Amino acid sequence: MNAVTNRVLLAFKSWDDRKKEMEPLLKPGNADDQVLRRLQLTHLRQAAHRLQETARLDEKPFMILLTNRIQKLEREIYPNVIARLFASLKERLYDGPTYLRQLAAQRAANMENLKGQLRDSGFGSVAGRLEDHLDREQSSVFMPLACQLDPENRLTFTLYFDKDNQGDFQLDRFHAAIRYKGAIGTAHDFRLKDWPGLKANQAWSLLEGRPLKQTFTDASGQENQRWVELSKYGLQHYDPSFAYDIKSVVASIPQITGSKPELISYLENGQRAPAHWKVGQQYQSISVQADPANRTLKFFDAKDRLITPEKLNQNAIQQLAVVKTLGTPVQKLRKGMKHGNQH
């Protein structure tokens, strides 16, 4: 969470920053000086309107400084008392209320759009209290989140919101990390311009070493897809032309049972997909995940241990042998019972 900031001082600072941006365009002279004073007056008046109802006790003394600065600018811009009084009344009765109504409508639309984005991305738990965190006087805000995976592992996110040129907050990026006993294990910064539509569970998959199929915009501006994974060496991108067709890989392994489209959807989303390994009439519970580096799949047994297809086949043969061995005494017993009945 951001530290408490004096928003009145922030209004002064934001004007100074804005003035520095305009300085290369300004020429010495009364005309530009007058324009600059009018822009500053508008900026400070709008800040006063925004803060007049919400200023905290520690900000109240600074509101007096803000009012004094506004009045000083009004005297400089409107040296005529009647003109100054008219401009002040117009600001108080019309311009100010109109500005606040427009600001409220803009913020409501901004919050609604952000809430939808957060829900779609898997961060819906914070959407309902978003307004409490995104102080409209701030230019950037960060918000930490945490999820306990098990007694020793935590998944943490830090969401970063930045204001755009229109004054709306946008979710710019988020930092994700898996912490083991408080220490960071795997972590990565995800900028949403590079990860359009990225969801929290997909980031989690990447942190745990599971690859996924990423939609991205290539150098020509076209939407494309590629496989990506996060390793100890950082983020690994596979070229879209890289020969890894997950549908062909799944189709080439007939022992995997279940819905192939559903399985492929899981794998492309970076998830470990539950399935069964079928040999004859023998079934084994397994799970699989994509392995683009080796153009195959990774297999895990019912206890989440890595296992090979060869070992799964051996297990099936051993299970079949056990069934046959257990079946022999039963058949002999049945024959003995028949012979006993004949006596």
Within a domain: residue 194?
Answer: no
Within a domain: residue 305?
Answer: yes
Q: Are residues 103 and 217 in the same domain?
A: no
Tokens 């592992």 correspond to what residue? 153
Within a domain: residue 327?
Answer: yes
- Which of 111, 145, 178 is where one domain is finished? 111
Within a domain: residue 311?
Answer: yes
pLDDT at 72: 96
Q: How many CB atoms lie within 10 A of CB 315?
A: 16
Q: Are residues 226 and 342 in the same domain?
A: yes
pLDDT at 327: 55
Q: Are residues 223 and 96 in the same domain?
A: no
Within a domain: residue 240?
Answer: yes
Q: Are residues 101 and 213 in the same domain?
A: no
Residues in the chain, overall count:
343
pLDDT at 337: 44
Within a domain: residue 196?
Answer: no
Q: Are residues 105 and 224 in the same domain?
A: no
pLDDT in tens, 128-164: 788 888 988 899 999 999 888 889 899 999 999 999 9
pLDDT at 3: 61
Q: Which domain holds residue 238?
A: 209-343
Query: How many distinct structural domains can be found in the chain?
Result: 2
- Which of 111, 138, 157 is where one domain is finished? 111
- Which residues of the chain are modeled with pLDDT < 50? 1, 330, 332-334, 336-338, 340-343
- Which of 70, 90, 111 is where one domain is finished? 111
**pTM greater than 0.95 (yes/no):** no
Report the candidate in 227, 223, 185, 222 with the shortest Cα–Cα distance to residue 204: 185
pLDDT at 321: 76
pLDDT in tens, 170-201: 999 999 999 988 888 889 999 998 888 899 99
Within a domain: residue 182?
Answer: no
Q: Are residues 341 and 222 in the same domain?
A: yes
Q: Are residues 99 and 228 in the same domain?
A: no
Within a domain: residue 82?
Answer: yes
